[in-house]
């Protein structure tokens, strides 16, 4: 079958087959495919259509302007000038070519946007709580490390002081042992003298 899009007009793809032609080609057993092709052809005039299995994705051109045009109420109550009337006629002509926006789609968009906003808010709250917990843990670790360093410093300082005290006590003991050394020397001299007397007496 030839492609249903064979010509370009004003930068937009146009269908080469009408709805009747599509219905004749596909027959009554494929009304769903013909309806889908017709809808796709109409949508392609206003945006980009893509398919993912049974899902149809549509991205509208100038969505913001179309929403504004479809949601416009009445015109201004003041009397329009000739230039404004001509511009209004041109705008009306363009607005007539724009299909109306389904209010259900807008409601779905609003609902999905609200849901996304709530999920983002929950995620931010959870992230904030996690950051606060990590901050508290970090502060606890820092305090523990500081206390350990302080305690180690005090222990080392006390050990150094104890070592110096022990050295001072050893020096005092050595000085107090000087008379003992003299007495031991005298005892050795007496012993040697006794040995000499003993040898002479024999």
What tokens does 179 get? 């008379």
In the prediction, which pLDDT does 73 show? 52
C-alpha 120/C-alpha 102 separation (Å) is 27
Q: What is the pLDDT along the chain (202 residues), one digit of tens a residue?
A: 444 444 333 333 434 444 454 445 444 444 555 555 666 676 677 777 787 777 777 777 777 777 777 766 544 444 445 555 556 555 555 555 677 778 888 888 999 999 999 999 999 999 999 999 999 999 999 999 999 999 999 999 999 999 999 999 999 988 888 888 888 899 999 998 888 888 888 7
- The pLDDT tens digits for 34-72 are 555 666 676 677 777 787 777 777 777 777 777 777 766
Q: What is the mean pLDDT of the chain?
A: 75
């Amino acid at each position: 079958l030839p492609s249903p899009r064979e010509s370009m007009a004003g930068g937009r793809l146009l269908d080469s087959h009408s709805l009747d032609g599509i219905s004749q080609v596909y027959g009554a057993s494929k009304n769903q495919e013909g309806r889908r092709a017709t809808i796709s052809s109409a949508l392609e005039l206003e945006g980009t259509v893509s398919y993912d299995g049974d899902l149809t994705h549509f991205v509208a051109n100038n969505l913001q302007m179309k929403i504004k045009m479809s949601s416009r109420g009445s015109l201004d109550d003041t009397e329009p000038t000739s230039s404004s009337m001509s511009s209004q006629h041109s705008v009306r002509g363009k607005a007539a070519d724009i299909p109306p926006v389904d209010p259900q789609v807008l409601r779905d968009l609003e609902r999905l946007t609200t849901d996304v906003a709530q999920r983002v808010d929950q995620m931010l709250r959870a992230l904030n709580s996690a950051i606060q917990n990590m901050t508290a843990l970090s502060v606890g670790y820092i305090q523990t490390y500081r206390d350990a360093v302080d305690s180690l410093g005090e222990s080392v300082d006390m050990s150094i002081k104890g070592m110096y005290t022990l050295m001072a006590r050893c020096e005092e003991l050595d000085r107090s042992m000087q008379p003992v050394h003299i007495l031991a020397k005298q005892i050795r001299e007496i012993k040697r003298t006794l040995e000499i007397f003993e040898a002479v007496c024999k």
